[in-house]
């Protein structure tokens, strides 16, 4: 009898527990359903356009001309518009499979947008480039094209044509994203993927003291550091800087909780096949391919490069081991990168939507700041004056030599302006967007990683997305901003040819960005 009574009581207890758990589960589900059914104060719109060129183009990103031989995969511009009915503020991010975003491109895009949309908030538009080296040349340099043969010119699209086409599609995508905004929800998160690696090798001796060293007038001034330098060199010391393998995501959802798109932000340019002679979005093509296979063909992907002026997806070490690995896996390096990014996305997506928001504090500030230019030394001036004379004395210059001559002349001109007391400040535009617990901060440079880390480390945000190659300030788009240690070592990316602004200006950018971020957190 006692045993039966104990069994009966245990049954009642078990039933009660099930009832409580059931109620709790129902309450949790009903809260989720209520959140999804309730009115959102966040409006979200997406759009994209195919910007694959319709003919042959010169591919940007190298000193020499590369006339495209084929189209490997398509190029895209992707736009995300987000506005808050609570704060009345907004942003429109547009990512472009392009080598750069110069001031003319931004102004031309805004001019077209203004003609087709009267209520579009032009001051909230932010364009960024993925820094692909297999996309059309959009910077005016007619001197290069004049040397091409008649056959090479046949069917060739020139930079002004490429830029006009890109600008038109940017405007269309931006306006469509703005006009298609509907209530939605946001979530954010991060994970890790080993994609970006520091690409600057440092040596124990200056190159001038090493055997077989030759100067490279107009291309680079080297001391003891070199981008993509050989690590098998007996004078090799170390890789110069840090690497950040964080991948950050801003996820968007409709009011039913269905995933609609994502920003993917990581510290690496898209240049895995950057020396090829075909049109391609580089590894972002494979990233889009893999993510859309799982999340649907209508899933939007907006790539952003974080501070990555000294980063690459190439390996500086273990190259033979990497080659063997890819051969045994039966894939190329681009697909290997895409798998890593997808794995990072899947990880973030497994937990980030548990904190889905339909109302966040959105504040968007844009401002012009003045940064100290890199000083040209008298030695650099005299060097480049002589090198320019040497180029001028040559009977015929190829496309690379024409570029090198112009770079020498630019350094000479900068020194002369500097000597005349011309302003040594470079005005640039930055955008800072507070979105709930996270923040986006832009700059127009190929920004060395350390500067991004400094901003992220001191930022009050839970996540800080740095967006390089974004915003006005650099006329032709893209200018490396090196650290002090990089300037000391020299090499491509850390010479006067490559730098409008020096390390002093880099720290000014850090402080101005943090000042703006902190003001939004008050």
Same domain flag for 310 and 393: no
What is 318-376 written as a DSSP string?
-HHHHHHHHHHHT--HHHHHHHHHHHHHHHHHTTGGGG-BS---EEEEEEEEEEEBPPP
On whether residue 31 sits in a domain, the answer given is: no
On whether residue 214 sits in a domain, the answer given is: no
Mean pLDDT of 45-58: 98
pLDDT of 476 reads: 79
Same domain flag for 357 and 380: no
User: Percent helix, strand and coil across the chain, each rounded to 5?
Assistant: 40, 25, 35
Q: What does each C-alpha distance from 143 to 78, 165, 399, 405, 407 come to in angstroms?
A: 32, 22, 8, 12, 13
Q: List the domain range (segments joined by +) for residue 60.
A: 42-197+241-369+426-520
On whether residue 480 sits in a domain, the answer given is: yes
Summarize pLDDT for 292-335 with one digit per residue, the tens.
Answer: 999 999 999 999 999 999 999 999 999 999 999 999 999 999 99
Mean pLDDT of 194-222: 96
Comparing 505 with 18, the larger pLDDT belongs to: 505
Same domain flag for 273 and 417: no
Same domain flag for 411 and 363: no
Is the pLDDT confidence value at 8 over 70? no
Looking at the structure of the chain, the number of domains it has is 2
pLDDT of 196 reads: 98
Q: Are 446 and 128 in contact (CB under 8 A)?
A: no
The residue length of the chain stands at 522
On whether residue 102 sits in a domain, the answer given is: yes
Distance from chain centroid for Cα 181: 24
Same domain flag for 384 and 298: no
Comparing 10 with 367, the larger pLDDT belongs to: 367
Is the pLDDT confidence value at 10 over 70? no
**Which residue from 342, 235, 370 is spatially nearest to 284, judged by alpha carbons?**
342
Among 386, 406, 423, where does a domain finish? 423
Mean pLDDT of 77-84: 98
Of 30-44, 98-112, 187-201, 316-330, where does mean pLDDT reach its minimum?
30-44
**Which residue from 290, 92, 295, 69 is spatially nearest to 177, judged by alpha carbons?**
92
Partners of 200 in the β-ladder? 227
Is the pLDDT confidence value at 20 over 60? no
Confidence of residue 29 (pLDDT cuts 50, 70, 90): very low
Q: Are 206 and 224 in contact (CB under 8 A)?
A: yes
pLDDT of 235 reads: 98
Which DSSP category does 122 fall into? G
90-96 and 76-84 strand pairing: antiparallel
Is the pLDDT confidence value at 184 over 50? yes
On whether residue 160 sits in a domain, the answer given is: yes
Mean pLDDT of 349-361: 98
Same domain flag for 384 and 508: no
Is the pLDDT confidence value at 37 over 70? no
On whether residue 138 sits in a domain, the answer given is: yes
- Provide φ and ψ at 367, rounded to 5°: -155, 160
H or E element in which residue 187 lies: strand 185-192
pLDDT of 34 reads: 42
Same domain flag for 169 and 283: yes
Of 143-152, 227-236, 396-405, 457-466, where does mean pLDDT reach its minimum?
143-152
pLDDT of 143 reads: 62
**What mean pLDDT is reported for the chain?**
92
Query: Cα–Cα distance between 276 and 102 in angstroms, integer?
Result: 23
Q: What is the 3-state secondary structure (H, E, C) of 480-502?
A: EECCHHHHHHECCCCCCCCCCEC
pLDDT of 274 reads: 96
Same domain flag for 380 and 306: no
Q: What does each C-alpha distance from 456 to 113, 437, 439, 460 come to in angstroms?
A: 33, 13, 10, 8
On whether residue 233 sits in a domain, the answer given is: no
Is the pLDDT confidence value at 6 over 80? no
Which DSSP category does 516 fall into? H
Query: Cα–Cα distance between 282 and 263 in angstroms, integer?
Result: 17
Query: Cα–Cα distance between 467 and 292 in angstroms, integer?
Result: 24
Is the pLDDT confidence value at 47 over 70? yes
């Amino acid at each position: 009898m006692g045993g039966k009574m104990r069994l009966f009581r245990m049954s009642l207890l078990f039933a009660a527990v099930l009832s409580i758990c059931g109620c709790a589960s129902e309450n949790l589900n009903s809260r989720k359903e209520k959140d999804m059914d309730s009115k959102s104060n966040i409006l979200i719109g997406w759009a994209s356009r195919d910007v694959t060129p319709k003919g042959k183009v010169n591919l940007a990103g190298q000193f020499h001309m590369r006339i495209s031989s084929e189209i490997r995969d398509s190029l895209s511009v992707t736009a995300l518009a987000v506005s808050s009915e609570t704060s009345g503020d907004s942003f429109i991010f547009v990512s472009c499979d392009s080598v750069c975003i110069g001031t003319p491109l931004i102004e031309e895009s805004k001019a077209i947008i203004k003609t087709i949309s009267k209520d579009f908030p032009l001051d909230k538009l932010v364009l960024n480039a993925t820094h692909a080296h297999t996309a059309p040349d959009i910077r005016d340099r007619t001197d290069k094209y004049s040397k091409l043969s008649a056959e090479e010119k046949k069917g060739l699209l020139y930079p002004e044509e490429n830029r006009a086409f890109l600008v038109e599609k940017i405007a269309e995508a931006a306006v469509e994203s703005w006009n298609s905004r509907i209530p939605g929800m946001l979530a954010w998160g991060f994970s890790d993927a080993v994609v970006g690696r520091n690409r600057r090798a440092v040596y124990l001796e200056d190159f001038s003291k090493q055997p077989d060293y030759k100067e490279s007038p107009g291309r680079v001034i080297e001391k003891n550091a070199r981008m993509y330098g050989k690590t098998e060199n007996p004078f090799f010391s170390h890789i110069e800087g840090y690497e950040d393998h964080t991948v950050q995501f801003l996820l968007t959802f409709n009011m039913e909780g269905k995933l609609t798109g994502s920003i993917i932000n990581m510290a690496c340019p898209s240049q895995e096949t950057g020396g090829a002679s075909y049109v391609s979005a580089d590894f972002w093509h494979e990233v889009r391919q893999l993510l859309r296979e799982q999340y649907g063909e209508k899933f939007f992907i907006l790539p952003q490069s974080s501070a990555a002026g000294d980063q690459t997806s190439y390996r500086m070490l273990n190259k033979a081991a990497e080659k063997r690995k890819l051969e045994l896996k039966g894939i190329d390096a681009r697909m290997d990168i895409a798998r890593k990014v997808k794995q990072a996305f899947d990880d973030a997506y497994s937990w980030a939507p548990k904190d889905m928001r339909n109302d966040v504090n959105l504040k968007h500030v844009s401002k012009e700041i003045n940064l100290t230019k890199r000083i040209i030394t008298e030695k650099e001036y005299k060097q480049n004056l002589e090198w320019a004379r040497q180029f001028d004395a040559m009977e015929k210059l190829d496309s690379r030599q024409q570029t090198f001559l112009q770079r020498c002349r630019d350094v000479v001109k900068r020194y002369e302006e500097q000597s005349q007391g011309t302003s040594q400040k470079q005005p640039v535009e930055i955008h800072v967007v507070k979105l709930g617990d996270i923040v986006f901060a832009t700059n127009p440079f190929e920004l060395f990683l350390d500067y991004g880390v400094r901003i992220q480390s001191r930022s009050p945000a839970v996540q800080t997305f740095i967006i390089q190659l974004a915003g006005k300030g650099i006329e032709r788009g893209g200018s490396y901003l090196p650290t002090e240690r990089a300037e000391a070592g020299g090499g491509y990316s850390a010479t006067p040819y490559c730098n409008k602004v020096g390390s002093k200006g880099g720290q000014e950018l850090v402080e101005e960005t943090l000042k703006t971020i902190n003001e939004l957190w008050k």
